[in-house]
Amino acid sequence: MATKREQEILALIKQDPLITQAQLAEKTGTTRSNIGSHISNLIKEGLIVGRGYVFPAENEVTVIGAVNLDVLGAAKAQVSTKGSTPGRVYSFIGGMGRNIATNLADLGVKTKLITVYGNDNNGDLFQSEAQNNELDLSDALRVERPTATYVYLNDVDGRRIAGIDDMQINELLTPQVMEKRLPKINAAKVVVVDSNLPAETLNYIYENVTVPIFAKAVGINKAQNLFSAKTKIDTLVINSVEAKLLTQIEITGEKQAQMVADKLQAWGCKRVCIYADGLGIYYQTPTVAKFVAYHKANLVNTNGVGAAIIAASVYAKLQAKDFGETLKLMQRADVLTAQVNEAVTPKLSEIIEE
């Protein structure tokens, strides 16, 4: 991690990339030999490349979160707990962090994904797909463990009935891993996290990341990871089930959505987007809020909706969209994603083409 002196030197180099070591020594009140040592450290940390003070390529967004194999059982009739139910079984690469990063890439956003995955066939599949989507995996971890897996069952209406996740591998995304990558993380314009990360890792990110942090709650057993006395979230995206678990408020309409958003803002979230199956999407900032009811659509699978919504909100932030434009982008992303079996729709870019 760069010292305060090295951060000072970096700032001077950014102002004048042709500055000499003698000039740096004069401006910082130290010796040329000390400057040489600091420059060497900056090169080792990847903050500058070579002797020409060339800065590494910056990603617009860094996503820190999970990748896994999704296994979906999609029922074609009313599910019976006492026998077999006809349907289809699908498998594809998913995971909240991966889904968000892939969506952002589809929207034309240069994206780094910091995740952990196994040295197995599913890891090979993920790596190949990520490269095809031009995701930067240079700071991801690949380990001798199985890639995470999520198995879930949807009813005939496309709504989730139950799910089981094998995600222990994410425990390897520790604060120490983030510390080694912190300069690159802070070089992004926006950082996105999901609650698959350990609570201590999220707290480290809140304390040390200097750019806006967007967060996606994932699962009723992990959403709590996002919250502590250190929580510092620019925009939170959460579904009504996770919101109820955290706040003990069941969302049946706009009034309850506002109550939930008020609580979440008090807990350290500047902006809150809540999506509720069958009801609609609610977006609240410190100054304005709006609820948009869902229209009936061809609902196939809601699993990837949250990742699409947060990707749309990040895109809106990068493009300096106003409240109304941001909400429209999130709403379109929601509808498009719910119409496909996969967790990522290949048509997400349509939200910025309309």
Contacts of 311 (CB under 8 A, 6+ apart): 100, 103, 104, 107, 333, 348
Residue extent(s) of CATH 1.10.10 domains in the chain? 4-44
Contact call for residues 275 and 267 (beta carbons, < 8 A): no
CATH topology for the 4-44 domain: Arc Repressor Mutant, subunit A (1.10.10)
Q: For position 189, what pLDDT does the model report?
A: 95
Q: For position 114, what pLDDT does the model report?
A: 98
> What are phi and psi for residue 111, nearest 5 degrees?
-130, 135
Q: For position 89, what pLDDT does the model report?
A: 92
How far apart are the C-alpha atoms of 115 and 103, rounded to whole Å?
A: 16
* Residue 350 amino acid letter: E
CATH for 61-353 is 3.40.1190.20
How far apart are the C-alpha atoms of 203 and 217, rounded to whole Å?
A: 15
How far apart are the C-alpha atoms of 59 and 187, rounded to whole Å?
A: 7
> Which regions of the chain are under pLDDT 50?
none
Q: For position 339, what pLDDT does the model report?
A: 84
In DSSP terms, 114 is beta-bridged to: 64
Q: For position 171, what pLDDT does the model report?
A: 97
Q: For position 41, what pLDDT does the model report?
A: 85
How far apart are the C-alpha atoms of 312 and 16, rounded to whole Å?
A: 35
SS3 sequence of 280-292: EEEEECCCCEEEE
Q: For position 215, what pLDDT does the model report?
A: 98
Contacts of 73 (CB under 8 A, 6+ apart): 87, 88, 89, 151, 152, 153, 154
What's the number of CA atoms in the CB half-sphere (13 Å) around residue 323?
Answer: 13
Q: For position 74, what pLDDT does the model report?
A: 87
Q: For position 54, what pLDDT does the model report?
A: 58
Q: For position 17, what pLDDT does the model report?
A: 74
How far apart are the C-alpha atoms of 276 and 297, rounded to whole Å?
A: 14
pTM for the predicted model, two decimal places: 0.82
Residue from 206, 252, 254, 208 nearest 230 by CA:
206
Residue extent(s) of CATH 3.40.1190.20 domains in the chain? 61-353
Q: For position 204, what pLDDT does the model report?
A: 98
